[in-house]
Chains A and B, each alone.
Chain A
């Protein structure tokens, strides 16, 4: 890192010196012959500016190359998901192509500027058009673009297609300023309905207890656990304003939109443990960030993601208590005919008396507009 700063500072310095030397010589020129327009072209001015273009290109190219090599150690490591590795390779392929185009076109631009600078008694070539040339450089970019579009489109199609049947659906909900997750639980593989009007201090996700599949749902807000090598479908929603789920190492990003659930599925194929060994950083953690500005805490909506093998995941899952178990008061919200089913999630000795529990969940009128997330 220090190298980059040092190198780029050097570039600064060199160019500053070049400019200063230019300045002194031009100032001389100003005193002597800069009074007529003719002298603009003929003065020493022109040669220095032409030279500076060339110098800028050469020094700039070296600085760009060197700083890139040094910066690349801080780039994110190889993606931990198959689709991420695919888009990474497309990224570097496109990057190679545009780097070539970047170097060639800038080289021509600066070289021509240097080469064809003003000479007295010289005439520029009257060269207004060349249809063949124009056709060539219309067609070549078009072909390259077509190729890139095609590869990009195939990757996009594969990433955005429907999640596989066996995918583990996890709900992730953004709010100012953290993420909350809901798992479908161990008894059935379904996330229960929700309704934003049911949200209150305890039921922060608006879980709808009129839906029996929600009884075993598990909510977590500290960290997200997912099994390795199994498709995970993120069902994404937002409670208040726009957020965006960003898992840098998985190359996952999708906005969370209030009123419009979104989704993104991916496969994590490296556990946190594996990454620790690969990166040599024993504290390595996968992280989840927010990339849609959402208010003053936008920069700190951090949640960690734990990728573990199937056994460890199942063990973790089994330790989690369903939301209803943690909030037995809400049994009152369960319709009469489902009370029996719900009862098995209620701990043997409820913490509160039934009288209190009827008072807590007061509203529920909006439940008819309930949006299904299944």
Chain B
């Protein structure tokens, strides 16, 4: 590429400007690092650690659900007293595991693990910045997350057990230690951990937003930004607005628990005494919780969709179809995400009129979501598809997004939600659309950007096997789960033998459990591949997927500041794949139109005139600031 030479020439001029940075100590370089790439890796390893814990918990409670008569005595060395005298799982511990599985997966894996990894890693690399706007805040963000992780992890080991009222921690159950043992110290730790987690999210979010707005390289206008960055930006905005509301909900709950206030408590008789609390409302908590809780779904999903947009375009060797429509639908989804929260509360006794309003708003979300799905499919149409593991996971994600999203149309309908609310239908729905889809976004991102993370390639054959086993496994787990939901089986039930209506489907529950264990086992292929490739993987080339975005213009192991010389300017959008007339089937963003006269569209020829202007502006390079 001609530009690479230009960059190399100009880099020689500037390289002396920043070589006075002294070598950092081990602690500053790898532990309390302010480098976004290191922080991203820290998030990635933490996310993978938490994913293993969260998934193991699900295997444990799937054992209980699939094999209710099985003796779990062999787990006593690990679980100790949580296995009761009869060799079965303790009933409260079952709820504790369900709760911790949800909490860990939603917050620690799919929020911190996904956004934390890829927003940190890709935002500076793809917008062309030396680092995050504030490396220090970024470091704080990770270490707050770390403290929060330690607290949550420690709650797994205390005698009264971790929080166990469901990941939504609805009071009064979560407020009253006399209601269940998990609402004692376990819930205290949960609330402390979440409060610190929210601080971490806010520090991270502020940084992401500031970086995207202020530190874009020359020429990187919003209309040229890759969809990944759009997704991360909108995710950060969602988090920044909604997480403080969860913090307030948690704070009020802390007050209720420890200081005798009555925000959520009213007219309660428990443990043989009438509590003095009057006038509070448990519904208030639900409103506050879901004001975060619903945007949270999109905080988890949007980064995955952004990653997918990038991977599908690259590997279809085609521009993403409807770039502007994709942005518009993401903005639409992000906006609507804030005004649909009460669809989680249709049958909580909320005013039915509010229920109708929220049903209207909820079903509107289906429209931008449908547009996104259609656009992905059309991007594949007449492409030249390379099935890298990342591409397979992205296609899988689109399939989950469609399959899980469609059942949302049923659940968003308040009249239909009466029967299905809190049944396995809901569980199947959100595990497909939010859990599996986002997890696939994470996996796709790891496979795709692994060469940039570690300078090596992951083994693609193992990647393919991992994909097929996981993809099939997840459908085998969650597709039949819809049947269980239609039959009315409520969620968070320790066993279904008490009811005649729920006594059917024992075999199917067993099948789901087997499939879940199978899927879980398949993840070890990924773990092996991941850790093996970090050390022994094949050396990657500079741009292994022949992609257009800026991160592939950095050296194999980008150092401090990412680009050794000047940050490359950007002249075009990120999706000039298979452009008619071009020699290669991709034209990176930093190639000016003046160098590609053979493939320019008429209006692009006019843009040649402003190239000099783009090159002249250089105010965003932190290395050029006096410091």
CA distance A149 to B363 in the complex (A): 7
Q: Interface code B479-511, partner A: CB below 8 Å = 1, 0 otherwise?
A: 110010011101111111011111011111011
Question: Given the complex, which residues of B lie within 8 Å of A75, measured CB to CB?
Answer: 483, 486-487
Within 8 A of A (CB), among B373-398: 373-378, 380-388, 392, 395, 398
A223 to chain B, nearest CB (A): 14
CA distance A106 to B479 in the complex (A): 14
CA distance A118 to B383 in the complex (A): 8
Q: Is the CB of B377 within 8 A of A128?
A: no
Q: Does A317 contact B (CB under 8 A)?
A: no
CA distance A116 to B386 in the complex (A): 9
Q: Does A8 contact B (CB under 8 A)?
A: yes
Q: Is the CB of A127 within 8 A of B321?
A: yes
Question: Given the complex, which residues of B lie within 8 Å of A130, measured CB to CB?
Answer: 321-322
Q: Which of B278, B323, B402, B488 makes the CB contact (< 8 A) with A128?
A: B323
Q: Which of A155-163, A210-218, A308-316, A339-347 contacts B (4 or more CB under 8 A)?
A: A155-163
Q: Is the CB of B496 within 8 A of A124?
A: no
Q: Which of B355, B356, B371 makes the CB contact (< 8 A) with A134?
A: B371
**Nearest neighbor of A304 in chain B, beta-carbon distance:** B500
B463 to chain A, nearest CB (A): 11
If A45-B460, A129-B325 touch, does A242 touch B507 (CB 8 Å cutoff)? no
Within 8 A of B (CB), among A113-147: 113, 116-119, 122-130, 133-134, 137-138, 141-142, 145
Q: Does A101 contact B (CB under 8 A)?
A: yes
Q: Is the CB of B348 within 8 A of A26?
A: no
Q: Which of B92, B283, B366, B382 makes the CB contact (< 8 A) with A257?
A: B283
Q: Is the CB of B487 within 8 A of A255?
A: no
Question: Given the complex, which residues of B lie within 8 Å of A9, measured CB to CB?
Answer: 511
Q: Is the CB of B511 within 8 A of A4?
A: yes
Q: Which of B267, B363, B487 makes the CB contact (< 8 A) with A196?
A: B267
Q: Does A37 contact B (CB under 8 A)?
A: yes
Q: Interface code B144-175, partner A: CB below 8 Å = 1, 0 otherwise?
A: 00000000000000000000011000101100
Question: Given the complex, which residues of B lie within 8 Å of A155, measured CB to CB?
Answer: 415
Q: Interface code B540-565, partner A: CB below 8 Å = 1, 0 otherwise?
A: 01001110000000000000000000
Q: Is the CB of A124 within 8 A of B578?
A: yes
Q: Which of B7-15, B117-125, B416-424, B437-445 contacts A (4 or more CB under 8 A)?
A: B416-424
Q: Which of B95, B363, B418, B577 makes the CB contact (< 8 A) with A148?
A: B363
Q: Is the CB of A74 within 8 A of B487?
A: yes
Question: Given the complex, which residues of B lie within 8 Å of A133, measured CB to CB?
Answer: 378
Question: Given the complex, which residues of A lie within 8 Å of B374, measured CB to CB?
Answer: 105, 134, 137
A274 to chain B, nearest CB (A): 17
Q: Interface residues of B toward A: which range?
A: 35 or more
Within 8 A of A (CB), among B341-365: 347-349, 352, 355-356, 359-360, 363-364
Q: Is the CB of B386 within 8 A of A40?
A: yes
Question: Given the complex, which residues of B lie within 8 Å of A328, measured CB to CB?
Answer: none
Q: Is the CB of B416 within 8 A of A87?
A: yes
Q: Which of A50-58, A179-187, A350-358 contacts B (4 or more CB under 8 A)?
A: A50-58
CA distance A19 to B386 in the complex (A): 18
Q: Is the CB of B483 within 8 A of A126?
A: no
CA distance A87 to B402 in the complex (A): 24
Within 8 A of B (CB), among A242-291: 242, 244, 246, 248-249, 251-255, 257-260, 262, 283-285, 287, 289-291
Q: Which of A49, A152, A248 makes the CB contact (< 8 A) with B392?
A: A49
B333 to chain A, nearest CB (A): 13
Q: Is the CB of A101 within 8 A of B406?
A: yes
Question: Given the complex, which residues of B lie within 8 Å of A30, measured CB to CB?
Answer: 461
Q: Is the CB of A118 within 8 A of B347?
A: no
**Nearest neighbor of A254 in chain B, beta-carbon distance:** B347
Within 8 A of A (CB), among B584-606: 585
B400 to chain A, nearest CB (A): 10
Q: Is the CB of A113 within 8 A of B385?
A: yes
Q: Which of A164-172, A225-233, A292-300 contacts B (4 or more CB under 8 A)?
A: A292-300
Question: Given the complex, which residues of A lie within 8 Å of B413, measured CB to CB?
Answer: 90, 94, 148-149, 152, 156
Q: Does B453 contact A (CB under 8 A)?
A: no
Q: Does A41 contact B (CB under 8 A)?
A: yes
Q: Interface residues of A toward B: which range?
A: 35 or more
Q: Is the CB of A94 within 8 A of B483?
A: no
Question: Given the complex, which residues of B lie within 8 Å of A251, measured CB to CB?
Answer: 418-419
Q: Is the CB of B395 within 8 A of A127?
A: no
In this complex, the member of A91, A157, A196, A259 whose beta carbon has the largest number of chain B beta carbons within 10 angstroms is A259
Q: Which of B387, B541, B577 makes the CB contact (< 8 A) with A117?
A: B387
A62 to chain B, nearest CB (A): 13
Q: Is the CB of B476 within 8 A of A76?
A: no
Q: Does B268 contact A (CB under 8 A)?
A: yes
Question: Given the complex, which residues of B lie within 8 Å of A284, measured CB to CB?
Answer: 500
CA distance A78 to B483 in the complex (A): 15
A271 to chain B, nearest CB (A): 17
Q: Is the CB of A126 within 8 A of B363?
A: no
CA distance A285 to B500 in the complex (A): 8
Question: Given the complex, which residues of B lie within 8 Å of A50, measured CB to CB?
Answer: 385, 387
B573 to chain A, nearest CB (A): 9
Q: Does B527 contact A (CB under 8 A)?
A: no
CA distance A41 to B315 in the complex (A): 10
CA distance A284 to B398 in the complex (A): 43
Q: Does A46 contact B (CB under 8 A)?
A: yes
CA distance A157 to B415 in the complex (A): 9
Question: Given the complex, which residues of A lie within 8 Å of B366, measured CB to CB?
Answer: 141, 145
Q: Is the CB of A240 within 8 A of B282?
A: no
Question: Given the complex, which residues of A lie within 8 Å of B180, measured CB to CB?
Answer: 295-296
If A8-B480, A124-B318, A242-B173 touch, does A84 touch B282 (CB 8 Å cutoff)? no
If A118-B386, A257-B349 touch, does A241 touch B419 (CB 8 Å cutoff)? no
Q: Can you identify 16 A-B contacts, CB atoms within 8 angstroms?
A: A22-B464, A40-B460, A71-B483, A94-B409, A94-B410, A97-B409, A98-B406, A116-B382, A118-B385, A127-B381, A128-B323, A145-B366, A156-B414, A176-B179, A242-B282, A258-B282
Counting from the closest, the 3 A-B pairs by CB-CB distance are A259-B266, A160-B352, A262-B349
Query: A152-B416, A291-B490 given. 11 additional CB < 8 A pairs?
Result: A19-B465, A98-B409, A110-B395, A127-B381, A137-B374, A239-B269, A240-B176, A253-B418, A259-B266, A259-B278, A371-B267
